[in-house]
Amino acid sequence: MLAKVLSCAVIGLDGTVVEVEVDSSRGLASFTLVGLPDAAVKESAERVRAAIRNSGLHFPSNRITVNLAPADLKKVGPAYDLPIALGMLIASEQVVSGALQDAIVVGELALDGSVRHVRGVLPMTAFARDQGFKRIFVPLADAAEAALIPGIEVVAVQSLGELVGALNGLAALHVVPSSEVGYLPASATHAETAVDFKDIKGQEVAKRALEVAAAGGHNVLMSGSPGAGKTMLARALPGILPDMTLQEALDVTRIYSVADMLPPDTPLITTRPFRAPHHTISHAGLIGGGKVPRPGEVSLAHRGVLFLDELPEFETRSLEVLRQPMEDKVVTISRVSGSLTFPANFQLVAAMNPCRCGWYGDPVKPCTCSPASISQYQKRISGPLLDRIDIHLEVSRVDYEKLADTRVGETSEAIRRRVQAARQRQAARFAACRASDQSGGRIPTCNADMTVSDVRVYCQLDEAGRSLMKAAVNQLQMSARAFHRVLKLARTIADLAGSERIHTVHLAEALQYRPRRPDA
């Protein structure tokens, strides 16, 4: 008898239907699995055999052939265990035929018949809903994650034996109600464990720059002596980032589901990611890749912060590849079998020492590096990459008087309220753009996402501002990209001040954040 059960594979962040066809015919007992399976899928034969027997069911002693279609798609992972087992039970008439009509089935089987977690359940469920399927069967551990997608019935499966009984009408299916998430609690949308700005002594200029960066989603590069507080400032940034929208939370959760990095007790990620990879990370680990391409750190930092400490110590190749996702907000990984695109709309925050010994320019401790060594170290960061960074900060050492001061500074919560207000102004501005836009192009979510045409509309200068900008372009030898980034930054500073127009004072502050080296 021939049976067919539908399952799902995840390619990148998108799903695709996999037909699990099981043929049970007379002949010498055997189990053949075809359809371009990887090692984990090939091993499903033994897991399915043991799970069926240990669930009190009969494993057919016929010639079993399992085909995973389409045959030219590489099948990866153990998510096909449950549909293979159900197909065999339908083919041997132990499960009612037609019980799985209009349904998708995914799940890994343990030897005792229990169903284990699989990665990528959220995009699978979204795909099943979009394709018109009425129901999806998922492991109990992943049911809360699948229930985030409305419009499809989610059935939680704890064990194979329990599911067979329910399909045969001996028990009720465990249907999980939709979560119906309509909003995110404000208290849950920012990092509670981040460093509080009130605990950072001094560094008023750096604190102001990070506030501007958080308000507009701008990239930041901090340079200074060891121990000046660069890393502490970067780790304080998540505490002032604005609330995530529901769509942003779902986008981030989808990435972490595919990467199998979703915490078991957290079906929906509500805090903006903060990723801080070590400088020894591989190119594939940072950008993404592998035989079966997986999201890298730039995608795991989507809608959050990518912090690169000791920036010159990273591989030059990896740093240069960052240039494309910083502009396009996506990263495309190409392989012989095809190309996959992952979202990568992250906010880059980088820190570096000015030289190898770290003390170049320090007012107290002398530098031991030669001028050639200093130049060589700083040139590890290319001009095109520096040009894509909006805010360049010189973080100096903190005086004893400020370190010993017992007064508490402004809290992260107070700064976050100003950042949130600025983002709301931007959202209202871009909502009007969304209502009038008929081209179907990408709508910016913050000032840093604005295109050249958006800058032309929303970043207009008065006569005094144009004169100041002209002088700055000539003196700093700014590129066209740097010119537009300064205008975006000035727009953010004006939003923090509650101003509808960019005034000279806003533009002047934005220009202060540009590097003073003409070649940068």
Burial 485-499 (b: 16+ CB within 10 A, else e): bbbbbbbbbbbbeee
Strand 347-352 versus strand 175-176 pairing type: unpaired
Question: What is the sign, positive or negative, of the torsion defined by CA atoms of 322, 324, 327, 330?
Answer: negative
Interhelix angle 412-436/204-216, rounded to 10 degrees, is 30
pLDDT at 239: 92
Domain with CATH 3.30.230.10 in the chain: 2-176
pLDDT at 186: 46
Inter-residue contact 467 to 475 (CB < 8 Å) = no
pLDDT at 361: 87
Read out DSSP for 249-285? HHHHHHHHHHTT---TT-SS--S--EE---TT--HHH
User: Which residue type sits at 348?
Assistant: L
104 in helix, strand or coil? strand
Inter-residue contact 82 to 105 (CB < 8 Å) = yes
Q: Which of 188, 337, 170 is CA-nearest to residue 266?
A: 188
Domain with CATH 3.40.50.300 in the chain: 186-415
- Cβ contacts of 79 within 8 Å, gap of 6 or more: 7, 8, 9, 106, 107, 108, 118, 119, 120
Interhelix angle 463-476/480-496, rounded to 10 degrees, is 140
- Alpha helices by DSSP H, listed for 25-112, are 39-42, 44-54, 81-91
Inter-residue contact 115 to 54 (CB < 8 Å) = no
Inter-residue contact 218 to 390 (CB < 8 Å) = yes
Would you write out the chain's pLDDT as a tens digit for each of its 520 residues? 899 999 999 988 889 999 999 998 888 888 899 999 998 899 999 999 999 999 999 998 889 999 999 998 889 989 999 999 999 999 999 998 888 989 999 999 999 999 999 999 999 999 999 999 999 999 999 999 999 999 999 999 999 999 999 999 999 999 998 875 554 554 444 555 578 999 888 889 999 999 999 999 999 999 999 988 899 999 999 999 998 988 899 999 999 999 999 887 888 999 999 999 999 999 889 998 877 788 999 999 999 999 999 999 999 988 999 999 999 999 988 877 678 899 999 999 999 999 999 899 888 899 999 999 999 999 999 989 999 999 999 998 888 888 888 888 899 999 999 999 999 999 999 887 665 554 455 678 899 999 999 999 999 999 999 999 999 999 988 999 999 999 999 999 999 999 999 999 999 999 999 986 544 4
Residue 398 CA: distances (Å) to CA of 37, 220, 366, 403: 59, 20, 17, 7
pLDDT at 435: 58
Backbone angles phi, psi at 102, to 5 degrees: 60, 35
Q: Which of 327, 328, 280, 330 is CA-nearest to residue 301?
A: 330
Question: What is the sign, positive or negative, of the torsion defined by CA atoms of 93, 99, 100, 106?
Answer: negative
pLDDT at 400: 83
210 in helix, strand or coil? helix
pLDDT at 154: 95
Q: Which of 10, 82, 88 is CA-nearest to residue 292?
A: 10
pLDDT at 179: 74
- Between CA 22 and CA 85 the distance in angstroms is 9
- Between CA 76 and CA 38 the distance in angstroms is 6
Q: Considering the entire predicted model, what is its pTM? A: 0.89
pLDDT at 480: 92
Interhelix angle 246-258/121-130, rounded to 10 degrees, is 120
**Domain 2-176 maps to which CATH number in 3.40.309.10, 3.20.20.70, 3.30.230.10, 3.30.70.80?**
3.30.230.10
pLDDT at 203: 87
pLDDT at 195: 85
What does the chain come to in residues? 520
Interhelix angle 81-91/160-167, rounded to 10 degrees, is 50
User: Which residue type sits at 16?
Assistant: T
For domain 186-415, the CATH superfamily is P-loop containing nucleotide triphosphate hydrolases (3.40.50.300)
pLDDT at 431: 84
- Between CA 185 and CA 452 the distance in angstroms is 34
- Between CA 375 and CA 172 the distance in angstroms is 71
- Alpha helices by DSSP H, listed for 459-503, are 463-476, 480-496
